[in-house]
Amino acid sequence: MFEWLFSPMAQSWLIQGVILTVEITLFGVMLGLGLGTLLAVGDIYGKKPLKAAIAVYVEIFRGSPLFIQLFLAAYTVPTVLNIRVDHALMAFLVFGLNSAGYQKGYVKGAIETILGDQMQAGVSVGMSRIQTLRHVILPQAYRIVIPSWTNEFCSLTKSTSALGYLGFMDLTGAGIAIKGSTYEILPVWIVIAAIYFVWITSFAKLMDVVYEKKKIPGVELLMAS
Amino acid sequence: MVDNVMEAKHVFKTYGKSGKKKQEDEQFTDKEHIVEAVQDVSLKIKKGDIKLIFGPSGSGKSTFLRCMDMLEIPDKGEIYLGDECLTSKGVDLCKARARIGFVFQHIYLFRHLTAVGNVELALRQVLKLPKEEARKRALDALAEVKVSDCAFRYPSQISGGQAQRVGIARALARNPDIILLDEPTSALDPELTGEVIDTLRDLAKEGATMLIVSHEMPFAREVAEEMIFYDEGKIVETGPPSLFFNAPNTDRARQFMTRIINRTTR
């Protein structure tokens, strides 16, 4: 059942798979957070055309299947434009762009809960709006966003399994390859699922610790009152 | 050379009643929905002046004070800081605000920073002081308002009176030309207002230039050179405290003073 775990071939696929999955999820959520923050700020302060463009962007990425976004970016777009690109790089970008569509909402919500008085205070001491965002608003907003961001991470990690079916050697791709060479089905998926589980759970637990550590003393009491 | 620290010339500011700012492309034609918070208000403040604005709530005092710091942009009129016109186009408002201290009624400390962090931030980001110097100046400012013991505590861990003194230290630390204070004691418990008033009294002794919106009458009597009675968006009467405490010229000021004095002695 599990003898294949000792085969060097299967081991090397699994290692490749873990590396790609970890890289792509970390890169995806980080790019998503950075881009999501820009989109949130643009949506709050931008003029109407910018807001409309942001809304279109968000709806396209939230409203269409990730699998198709990946397929278009990795295969169709390079073919149509007749350019040679690294497929993995395109996949990285799609996860970042897709995650930004979701994270924009989390960041915008967090910014808006703290914007009013804190922006006035920041501007009153002579800082620009951008300085105030950078030094006052975002440090508070990111603290609020951590739990939603952790959820986004969990969800994004599992979405990366679409890569395996597009021919990438991520964890799911490794599973498909091992399955093809060993004819074991259930045991392979059990192992793959366990690896996803360990990765997601340990990262989520780590973020819980960060969330507690970064809490502003006394502020949760203020928010409840 | 202008010897005024700040001057307001014929300032106007109008709101929709919902509190909504008037957009350029929309008109509040319906009279019911217009609040004329500031109507043709002019004011001069010289170095070392302490002026106190008082009047009924909702009369637009705070809006006028916020216009002085350009936290609200006046619809019409000019605001001068020294000889620089803040209401003309292309003025660097950040630079101007760096020279003006503002103290908020509801304090508005940066919640994620300790007391010293609150004072330090502008010194680092606006005045671009090196870390050690900013820290030293921030601690000095906290010592000046006697809250050194709270320096490393967060806003939610200190009392309202302490927090407001940190707010004053934050406004003071840049050595501003003037400090604008918007009802600095009215959000505090009565027993905490005393410590904030003491701080303001110390500042007055040191010759700070201040424009204060407040109803702390004993304090006004003691430190203000001029009191300004403000009602329905206009300056109704100005004069030294002795005028208001004895015999104001206008009926409205007289009624208001009677009410306020009765309230405090009752």
B13-20 — which CB contacts under 8 Å span 24+ positions?
A: B13/B37, B13/B38, B13/B60, B13/B63, B13/B64, B13/B67, B13/B72, B13/B74, B13/B75, B14/B75, B15/B63
What pLDDT, on the 0 to 100 scale, is given for residue B195?
87
Q: Residue A219: closest CA among chain B residues belongs to which residue?
A: B156
Distance separating alpha carbons of residues B134 and B118, to the nearest angstrom:
11
Chain A residues whose beta carbon lies within 8 Å of the beta carbon of residue B110: 118, 121-122, 136
A63 close contact with B: CB closer than 8 A? no
What digits encode the pLDDT tens for the residues B64-113?
A: 999 999 999 999 999 999 889 999 988 999 999 999 999 999 999 999 99
Contact A167/A173 with Cβ under 8 angstroms? yes
For residue A181, which of A11, A3, A2, A4 has the smallest C-alpha distance? Answer: A4
pLDDT in tens, B102-133: 999 999 999 999 999 999 999 999 999 999 99
* Model confidence at B264: pLDDT above 80: no
A215 to chain B: closest CA residue:
B112
Please report the domains of chain A, with CATH numbers, ordered by start residue.
3-219 (1.10.3720.10)
pLDDT given at position B25:
46
Closest-CA distance, B167 to chain A, in angstroms, reads 10
* CA separation for the pair A144, A115 (Å, rounded): 13
State residue A79's pLDDT score: 87
Average pLDDT for residues A201-217, to the nearest whole number?
92
Residues on chain A touching B174 (C-beta within 8 angstroms) = 125-126
The tokens describing B45, both together, are 């403040």
Q: Which of residues 124-143 of A touch B (CB under 8 A)?
A: 124-128, 131, 135-136, 139-140, 143
Of A1-5, A62-66, B170-174, B234-238, the poorest mean pLDDT is in: A1-5
pLDDT digits (tens, 9 = 90+) for A1-26: 888 888 899 999 999 999 999 999 99
Pair of tokens at residue A63: 């409203």
Q: Greatest CA separation found in chain B?
A: 56
Of residues B20 and A173, more confidently modeled: A173
Q: Does the pLDDT value for residue A138 go beyond 70?
A: yes
Q: How far is CA A163 from the centre of its chain?
A: 15
Of the candidates B98, B108, B112, which has its C-beta nearest A126's C-beta?
B98
The per-residue pLDDT for range B178-205, each reduced to its tens digit, is: 999 999 988 888 888 888 888 888 988 8
| Contact status, residue B35 vs residue B17, Cβ threshold 8 Å | yes
Residue of A126, A131, A219 with shortest CB distance to B174: A126
Distance from CA of B69 to the nearest CA of A (A): 7
Alpha carbon distance A18, A27 (integer Å): 14
pLDDT of residue A88: 83
Whole-number pLDDT of residue A225: 36
Q: How far is A213 from chain B (nearest CA, A)?
A: 13
**pLDDT at A224 exceeding the cut of 60:** no
Per residue in A38-56, pLDDT (tens digit) is: 999 999 999 999 999 999 9
Q: With an 8 Å Cβ cutoff, are B156 and A122 in contact? A: no
CB contact under 8 A, B125 and A218: no
Angle at A191 between CA A185 and CA A193, to 5 degrees: 100
Please state the rounded mean pLDDT for residues A198-213: 94
Reply yes or no on whether the pLDDT at A220 is more than 80.
no
pLDDT for res B222: 86
Say which residue, B241 or B29, is predicted with more confidence.
Answer: B241
Give me the residue label for tokens 């050697």. Answer: A169
pLDDT of B24 reads 46
Q: What number is the average pLDDT over the span A162-185?
A: 91
Please compute, for residue A92, the number of CA atoms within 13 A of its CA located in the half-sphere on the CB side: 13
Q: For position B66, what pLDDT does the model report?
A: 93
Question: In chain B, what are the domain boundaries?
Answer: 109-175
Say if the Cβ atoms of A123 and B111 lie within 8 Å: no
- A142/A146 Cα distance (integer angstroms): 6
pLDDT in tens, B4-31: 899 999 999 998 765 555 444 445 555 5
Q: Taking CB atoms and an 8 Å limit, are B156 and A222 in contact across chains?
A: yes
Tell the burial category of A6 from Cβ atoms under 10 Å away from its Cβ (0-12, 13-18, 19+): exposed
Q: What is the pLDDT of residue A222?
A: 46
State how far the Cα of B196 lies from the Cα of B160, in Å rounded to an integer: 10
Residue A31 and residue A94: Cα distance in Å, rounded?
Answer: 10
